[in-house]
């Protein structure tokens, strides 16, 4: 064991170790760039030839990775990409960064992890470091990856080193990015943790080692469960404020002045992104196998899942107040990405809002400067056709019976919206301080709404 670990660590220390990254999406491509930035030869692996081709040309398909940066590392020979998984044999360390979706019944789908693990098995050799970064339930690394990899005859912790390190990607965050976000890592054995930390300490600014792979796996799902539950709480607060006739944003802003014991969360039209809507269900599923019911997760999930329908009811009620039926109304949705200033549509609540509006007969269009088109995925677009972003101008605003703010992109001129729309349903609170001739309806009453 000592020789394998010591040899790997020497390669890591003198930057002769070659690092492979399996999966070149929102997690894998930024990691590939940071590995290359740290002076290691980095090989990216992906099953999609189109993704591999653009990366090999130095073009980034991930917003948080500038093409100019990637192109420089490709030109220097520090970064490349391939669909040839046999080249995993060249790698001294391999990070697995593949999707972990949920099935329709909200059970973990580890098919991508299983496929990646089999590819690693085919080329596994003594002295390699394998790190799973894909979000999953506690026990996956030990109970799923380890048995497959040990089919090679090599023993984890002795002949090769197996770790889990949760990804902490926040798309569009201008402050916290891959390198400066503290990196948690836990190994199957202390030797595994030592080997994994040796590499990641040279790639990330801060590395936090934990006692086991299970602890590292639980860190990730706990972080996002914490956010999901608190978002559910503030979404329920918005509905309570609506019943009480109180401005939820006024309540939140006042509560946030408390300098201790409070963390600000904001309500919205529902949960989106790959992590927060999904990750808590990994923990919930695992605990069901241990005869434990995660009651708080289940209730919070229900509250968040109901928010798009709550928004659509607000739209219908507001139109009804204007003497208009939803089935004969034109509704313009502003922002279809899952959050501000990104192009990511994964699990976006806006897609549910669009679908529900269409089912009720509304004539729906959308504007999003980051998402020019929504392709048909079998359920998003009711009539089976792609939807394209429309221009946001006076004509479009005046033609709409209701304008609905779902994602509050900074590039949108909300002053223009307030001046020319008839009715604005604001799920993000962006119109509270803006003069508006439009009637503004929020998730709860807007105390600061005023006429120009």
- Which CA distances in Å does 329 have to 190, 324, 363? 63, 7, 6
Nearest Cα to Cα of residue 390 among 412, 373, 366, 408:
366
Measured in degrees and rounded to the nearest 5, phi and psi for residue 304 equal -65, -40
All CATH 3.40.50.720 domain ranges of the chain, comma separated, are 2-211, 304-442
pLDDT above 70 (res 449) = no
Least confident of 198-202, 305-309, 340-344: 340-344
Work out the pLDDT band at 451, boundaries 50, 70, 90: very low
| Averaged pLDDT for residues 404-426 | 96
pLDDT at position 382 is 55
Question: Highest-confidence range of 57-61, 207-211, 387-391, by mean pLDDT?
Answer: 207-211
- Whether residue 377 is predicted with pLDDT greater than 80 in this model: the reply is no
Decide: 15 and 40 in contact? Cβ < 8 Å.
Answer: yes
For the entire predicted model, the pTM comes to 0.90
Query: What is the tens place of the pLDDT at every residue in 223-270?
Result: 999 999 999 999 999 999 999 999 999 999 999 999 999 999 999 999
Q: Give me the catalytic one of 97, 192, 241, 275.
A: 275
Q: What is the pLDDT of residue 358?
A: 93
Tell me if 405 sits within 8 A of 430, measured CB to CB: yes
pLDDT at 376: 62
Given pLDDT bands bounded at 50, 70 and 90, which one contains residue 3? Answer: low
Query: Once rounded to an integer, what is the mean pLDDT over residues 186-209?
Result: 97
* Dist. CA 442–CA 241, nearest whole Å: 11
Name the CATH code of domain 2-211 (choices 3.40.50.2000, 2.60.40.10, 3.40.50.720, 3.50.50.60): 3.40.50.720
pLDDT digits (tens, 9 = 90+) for 293-307: 999 999 999 999 999
- Give pLDDT tens digits for 28-64: 999 999 999 999 999 999 999 999 999 999 999 998 8
CB 238 within 8 A of CB 444: yes
pLDDT of 2 higher than 70: no
Q: Identify the helix (H) or strand (E) that includes residue 331.
A: strand 330-334
Q: Is 275 a catalytic residue?
A: yes
Question: What is the number of other CB atoms lying within 10 angstroms of the CB of residue 287?
Answer: 15
Looking only at the bridges linking them, the beta strands covering 387-388 and 373-374 are: antiparallel
Dihedral sign computed on CA atoms, order 76, 81, 84, 89: positive
Determine the pLDDT at residue 407: 96
Q: Are 248 and 267 in contact (CB under 8 A)?
A: yes
pLDDT in tens, 146-183: 999 999 999 999 999 999 999 998 888 889 999 999 99
The answer as to CATH 3.40.50.620 being correct for domain 304-442 is no
């Amino acid at each position: 064991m000592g020789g394998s670990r010591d040899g790997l660590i020497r390669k890591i220390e003198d930057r002769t170790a070659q690092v492979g990254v399996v999966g070149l999406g929102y997690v894998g491509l930024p990691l590939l760039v940071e590995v290359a930035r740290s002076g290691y030869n980095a090989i990216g692996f992906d099953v999609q030839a189109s993704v591999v081709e653009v990366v090999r040309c130095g073009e980034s398909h991930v917003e948080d990775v500038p093409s100019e940066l990637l192109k420089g590392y490709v030109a220097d020979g520090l970064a490349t990409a391939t669909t040839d998984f046999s080249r995993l044999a060249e790698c001294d360390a391999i990070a697995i960064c593949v999707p972990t979706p949920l099935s329709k019944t909200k059970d973990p789908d580890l098919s991508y992890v299983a496929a990646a693990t089999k590819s690693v098995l085919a080329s596994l050799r003594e002295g390699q470091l394998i790190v799973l970064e894909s979000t999953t339930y506690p026990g996956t690394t030990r109970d799923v990856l380890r048995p497959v990899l040990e089919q090679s005859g090599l023993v984890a912790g002795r002949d090769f080193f197996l770790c889990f390190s949760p990804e902490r990607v926040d798309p569009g965050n201008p402050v916290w990015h891959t390198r400066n976000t503290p990196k948690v890592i836990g190994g199957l054995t202390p030797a595994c943790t030592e080997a994994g930390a040796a590499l990641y300490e040279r790639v990330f600014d801060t590395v936090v080692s934990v006692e086991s792979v299970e602890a590292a796996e639980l860190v990730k799902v706990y972080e996002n469960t914490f956010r999901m539950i608190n978002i559910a709480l503030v979404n329920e607060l918005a509905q309570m404020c609506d019943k009480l006739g109180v401005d939820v944003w006024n309540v939140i802003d006042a509560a946030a002045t408390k300098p201790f014991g409070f963390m600000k969360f904001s309500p919205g039209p529902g949960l989106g992104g790959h992590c927060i809507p999904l990750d808590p269900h990994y923990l919930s599923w695992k605990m069901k196998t241990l005869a434990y019911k995660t009651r708080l997760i289940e209730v919070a999930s229900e509250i968040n899942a109901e928010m798009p329908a709550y928004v659509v009811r607000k739209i219908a009620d507001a139109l009804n107040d204007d003497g208009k039926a939803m089935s004969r109304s034109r509704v313009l949705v502003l922002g279809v990405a899952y959050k501000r200033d990104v192009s990511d549509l994964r699990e976006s609540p806006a897609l549910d809002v669009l679908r529900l509006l269409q089912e009720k007969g509304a004539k729906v269009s959308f504007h999003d400067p980051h998402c020019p088109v929504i392709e048909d995925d079998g359920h998003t677009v009711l009539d089976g056709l792609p939807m394209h972003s429309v221009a946001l101008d006076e004509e479009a605003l005046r033609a709409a019976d209701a304008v609905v703010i779902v994602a509050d992109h900074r590039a949108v001129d909300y002053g223009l919206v307030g001046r020319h729309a008839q009715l604005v349903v604001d799920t993000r609170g962006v119109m509270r301080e803006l003069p508006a001739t439009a009637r503004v309806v929020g998730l709860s009453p807007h105390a600061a709404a005023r006429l120009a």
